[in-house]
Amino acid sequence: MSNVNYTNHRAPLIISTLLLVPLNLISKSMNFTHMSGGATIVFPIIIFSILALFFYGCVRLAKNKGRSGWWGILGIFFLLGLLIIALLKNKRKEETQ
C-alpha cells in the first residue's frame, strides 16, 4: 500500500492565486505610459510566470483526480475553470486495507 500525498498539487494553485489577486490590483492602478523600459518588460514576465504556475497547478489537480492533464486547459477560465476541475469526480480507485 502506498501513501499518496494529495496536498502537493494544491501548492501551485494557492501560491499563484494569492499572487494574482494583488498583482491584478497593482496593474490596474499603474500607468504604464510613465514607466521606464525595464519595468514594462519585467511586469509581464512576472504575470506570465504566475499564470504558468497556476496552469501547472490545474494540470496537477486534474492528474491527481485520475484525469488527463489536458483538463488543466480549463485554467484559462481562471476561477471558473479551477472550480470545474475541482468538482470533477475522482477516477482513482480508493485503496482498501
Tens-place pLDDT, residues 18-39:
777 676 666 666 665 566 666 6
C-alpha cell at 23: 498583482
Using 50 as the pLDDT threshold, list the residues of the chain that sit under it: 1-3, 95-97
Instruction: Tell me the CA distances in angstroms from 14 to 10, 20, 53, 61, 96, one per residue in order.
Output: 6, 10, 10, 12, 30
Looking at residue 70, its pLDDT comes to: 92
The answer as to whether 58 is a domain residue is yes
Residue 81 CA to residue 63 CA, distance in Å, equals: 15
The answer as to whether 27 is a domain residue is yes
Looking at residue 2, its pLDDT comes to: 46
Q: How many domains does the chain have?
A: 1
- Residue 89: alpha-carbon gap to chain centroid: 19
Looking at residue 33, its pLDDT comes to: 56
C-alpha cell at 33: 505610459
The answer as to whether 38 is a domain residue is yes
The answer as to whether 19 is a domain residue is yes
Q: Which domain holds residue 79?
A: 10-87
